[in-house]
Amino acid sequence: MDIRQIDDSYAVTGQITADEIAEIKELGYRSIVCNRPDEEEAGQPSFAEISAAAEAAGLHTAHVPVGGMGLTPDAVTGMVDALDEMEKPVLAYCRSGARSTRIYEAAERLRG
């Protein structure tokens, strides 16, 4: 994993696997947000698979997909809600981490 810290409570990475959940927990993350739509790419783990492994490890999860339409108002609002409700620190992922960075920036602007 290539984890990039955005601030004290939020970091981003590319696609994760269920096998990496234990490491994510060991690194101190309390919640995981998936910003990737399911079936975006062949062989990609589903959000349900990641979420089941994360929840079994005691981590909170949310699915706020950002697809081909980019950052929609609903996605940004969903991210605000997830960030307000989730335990920190949060690790968000998408294919490369770029969408997870952009949606966080948009959510933070909306949160004021």
What is d(CA 19, CA 63) in angstroms, rounded to the nearest whole number?
A: 19
Kindly provide the residue ranges of all beta strands, DSSP E only, lying in 1-112, ordered along the sequence. Answer: 4-7, 10-13, 31-34, 60-63, 90-93
pLDDT value of residue 65? 96
SS3 category, 4: strand
pTM: 0.95
Domain encompassing residue 100: 4-111
pLDDT tens over the chain, length 112 residues? 899 999 999 999 999 999 999 999 999 999 999 999 999 999 999 999 999 999 999 999 999 999 877 899 999 999 999 999 999 999 999 999 999 999 999 999 988 7
Question: Which tokens hold the place of 1?
Answer: 């994993």
The domain that contains 15 carries what CATH number? 3.90.190.10
Question: What domain count does the chain have?
Answer: 1
